[in-house]
Amino acid sequence: MKHLLFFLVTSLGISTGLSAQGVWTLEQCIDHALKQNVSLQQADLNRVNQGISLDRAKSQRLPGVYASASAASSFGQSMNNQGYYEYGNSQSYSGSLSASMPLFSGFQISNTIKAQELNLKASLEDLKKARESLSVTIASAYLQVLFNKELLQLAKDQEALSLQQLDRYQSMAALGKIPEGQVSEIKALYANNQLETSRAQSNLQLSLLDLAQLIELDDWTSFDIVVPAIDVKALALQLTPADEIYNSAVSLKPVVKASELRLEQNERQLKVAEGGYYPSLSLGASYGNGYYGGNMSLADQLSKNARTSLHLSLSVPLFNRFETSNSVKSAKLAIRNAELEVENTKKTLYKEIQQAWFNASTAMDRFKASNESVEQSKIAFRFTEEKFNNARATAYEYDEARTKLASAQSNLLQAKYNYLFSVKILDFYKGEPLAL
């Protein structure tokens, strides 16, 4: 499916949006992805929405102001504004303005505000975590491209070596020094090397496509990356202990901070629930007026019908069907669940660091062993090549030695990039930025 997608996109020459001319560093790839990734944009919208929830909580301290108006028509017997019944049709108009504000509500408003502030901070840490996860994924894809580039160069070197041998054997066959059958064997080896080069080229293009899709590039056909000078041997051969890395990570990683903030938020929500046990006090004021028809003028009626009031309202909870007590119980359970979440988050982080440290340690050993294997395979290949050039080894023996060398070199590349990625992951847990 990936091969089909690659050839379809190449043939169509899709070119919409950002141009991918030039080569990209890892930092540029990560920066571009952080700006374009849809999931991150959704996470940021959630952060903005939490900010709105905080504003809504703060606004509960403000007074509420309301206005109302009404108009009515009466037919037949009706009561006038002096309290007497009279016959006939009449119209009345009235309006009022009222305001109320909470003075005390068991500290529920202030605790709700603090809970929303903590929730907003937690959503920001969630956004940071999502950004980190995307950065790690892009770094992995970037290293995969570098790995495939080196594999392609290795395949090209093997192809060039086979072509060199083919030219030599064709010259020898033309002089009658070797039979044509040996030339055919070398031709078969050369054809196989061409196939390996083609396969390596395809794998490289597909890995570039994967990286381009991760960073949300529209035009990837000319997309390429910078090949940094990486001296794996210069990397730290003495790994930082896993416990030391964890002690740094547990105070830095957004995933831990988010869980701790949500624990604090649930503790505030408990105080909000407990506020239901307290009485509430509010202050209110209102003004009303009306016109009821009749012989009295509008000015006189508005002067006499004006109504104003100022009141304090006290509400004492006596029995609310255990709503408050059940809310308190639920809040306590939420706190316990949040405590377990913090504990689980820290345990998961510790396990991840342990696994990353083990991977780095194993990758370092494999890199050392693979490096030694390449050196020995080079010696064996030179020995077989010399015998082959002197017609003391067959093409099969030559190809077997060459294949073993290529396999050792491929294993070395794999070990190199596994070790590099493992070391970068450990650096990432220590709070260092992902860079090459």
Ranking 107-111, 185-189, 260-264, 278-282 by mean pLDDT, the lowest is 185-189
pLDDT, average across residues 396-422: 84
What pLDDT does residue 382 have?
87
The two tokens of residue 16 are 């919409």
Domain boundaries 2-59+97-279+316-429, CATH class: mainly alpha
Taking only the tens place, the pLDDT of each residue in 155-172 is 998 888 888 878 877 887
Distance CA 277, CA 319 (A): 10
Q: What is the pTM of this model?
A: 0.79
What pLDDT does residue 19 have?
43
Distance CA 242, CA 361 (A): 11
Q: What mean pLDDT is reported for the chain?
A: 85
Taking only the tens place, the pLDDT of each residue in 252-308 is 999 999 999 999 999 999 999 999 999 999 999 999 888 776 666 777 777 777 888
Q: DSSP readout, 371-425?
A: HHHHHHHHHHHHHHHHHHHTTSS-HHHHHHHHHHHHHHHHHHHHHHHHHHHHHHH
Bridge partners, 312 (sequence order):
283
The two tokens of residue 213 are 């899709």
- The share of the chain scoring above pLDDT 70, in percent, equals 88
pLDDT, average across residues 62-88: 72
Measuring CA to CA, how many Å separate 95 from each of 74, 99, 291, 294? Answer: 18, 14, 9, 18
Between 157 and 19, name the one with better pLDDT.
157
Please name which of 273, 276, 279, 278 lies closest in space to residue 329, comparing C-alpha atoms: 273
- The share of the chain scoring above pLDDT 90, in percent, equals 44
DSSP state of 299: H
HSE-up of 35 (CA within 13 Å, CB side)?
8
